[in-house]
Amino acid sequence: MSPVDAGPPIATVNPSTGELLQLFEPYDATGVEARLAVAASAVPLWAKSTFAERSRLLVTVAELLEGELPDIAHVVTTEMGKPFAQAKAEVVKCASGFRWFAENAEAMVTDEEVPLDASLGLVTYQPLGAVLAVMPWNFPLWQVVRFIAPAVMVGNVGLLKHAPSVPRTALLLEDLFRRAGAPDGVFQTLLVGTDQVPAIIADPRVAAVTLTGSVGAGRAVATQAGAVGKKIVLELGGSDPFIVLPSADLGRAISVGVQARVQNAGQSCIAAKRFIVHRGVADRFTEGFVAGMEALSVGDPFDPATEVGPLVTAAARDTIAAQVDDAREHGAAILCGGEPVVGPEGPDRPGFFYRPTVITGITPAMRVATEEVFGPVALLYTVRDADEALAVANRTEFGLGSSVWTNDPDEQQRFVSELQAGQVFVNGMVVSMPQLPFGGIKSSGVGRELSAQGLREFCNVKSVWVA
């Protein structure tokens, strides 16, 4: 790896107050080289490990997560601001995800015999080596589990370049694997800046790359990996439609819609962002939805009554404010919210809060019409019929998740077939789960995480033919 300056310190900032909590010096070229060397040494050893050994490691990590749940969740909430109850739920989900892969991976990547005019035809799945993951801050545990659990179970080793706002969480994850008994090099965190990533991707000891992040970051990584011929998986965000048709259970659509927009303060790739409502139920949906958004409690994420915590950084809050102000200046109607909020610590330590917001009257001239809105801001569209609902839903560069609310079987089948998205949830909120593949199309990325498809992404799918 070529020498690269380590760059400025990596900071942990409490988004509830804006207070600087800790600075970390990023690894310099020597530090990165040492970790790459350890990973390279671990590759052949871990590839020869048994599924029982891999499973035992993941189950032990799950047990540590469960046993230390409040402490781990406290780190997450302090570092990126999600309400403490949601942070605890993320820890539980991660433990469950580790257990699922520990219990199910072997069956999904066992050798498959293929009938051929030969004595043996076989498809076998073998590890690639060291996989570099460039991960975001919004689900700082679960995003990593989605990569490392399947990678480890098929015999790969992992290198984590986490978001710069969550270094404590990144180091915590490395420590969990160490205490669970992982051999040296099976999972390591790289505290490095973005400018150090290209050299790591180019290093011959790195076999593949996965990234969850912005479209720009994904395209940069794809270019870097493509230049050296390495496999990639990219999840690049979304502008998910939430479609409500006349036969829907309107009360449930409203309550779930509010949750789907503001979970994690709206900072989720698969959050419902564009609410596309049939004119026959638009007035009732709008009234209930706006009331639900206005009733949300915004404040201290450690307060059990809080439903919406701060955005992760001042820059994130300011981006949301600029998008909403742009919509307002171009004639949009702001039905509720539309402004930053001073946090519970008062004006001296205001934090990075933004009031839950509903916008309608959206036109193509507005930034919100084309950009992903990564915060508690809902865009509300009224449409004439199912045809227009589909047209509006698909009128975006993104194609990650989608939710459609209808009790008409024909409509359900049509939207499942015609929505341009990697996932379609009918009468429910889009979520990720180990059992189903997770990923998108168009500018939302390439490849899949989770499930059998995610396990096989970082395998050498080898064909065997014996005369």
Q: What percent of the chain has pLDDT over 70?
A: 99
- The fold adopted by the segment(s) 240-433 is Aldehyde Dehydrogenase; Chain A, domain 2 (3.40.309)
Choosing from 79, 235, 307, 372, the catalytic residue is 235
Interval 443-466: pLDDT, tens: 999 999 999 999 999 999 999 999
Q: Which of 79, 90, 94, 269 is catalytic?
A: 269
Judged against a pLDDT cut of 60, whether residue 3 lies above it is answered with no
- Per DSSP (E only), the strands in 325-430 are 333-336, 340-341, 353-354, 357-360, 377-383, 398-399, 403-405, 425-426
Active site residue 336: no
Quick check: 250 pLDDT over 50? yes
Known catalytic residue at 269: yes
209 three-state secondary structure: strand
The whole-number pLDDT of residue 129 equals 98
pLDDT of residue 285: 98
Quick: pLDDT tens for 62-102: 999 999 999 999 999 999 999 999 999 999 999 999 999 99
pLDDT of the residue at 5: 64
User: What is the dihedral sign for C-alpha 47, 53, 54, 55?
Assistant: positive
- Give the residue extent of every domain in the chain: 10-236+444-466, 240-433
Label residue 179 by pLDDT band (50, 70, 90): very high
Q: pLDDT tens for residues 317-350? A: 999 999 999 999 999 999 999 999 999 999 999 9
Please report which confidence band the pLDDT of residue 7 belongs to, taking 50, 70 and 90 as the band edges: confident
Tens-digit pLDDT profile for residues 264-317: 999 999 999 999 999 999 999 999 999 999 999 999 999 999 999 999 999 999
The span from the CA of 435 to the CA of 452, in Å, is 8
Examine the pLDDT at 2 and tell me if it is beyond 60. no
pLDDT of residue 46: 98
Measure the CA–CA gap between 142 and 163, rounded to whole angstroms.
13
**CATH T-level assignment (fold) for domain 10-236+444-466:** Aldehyde Dehydrogenase; Chain A, domain 1 (3.40.605)
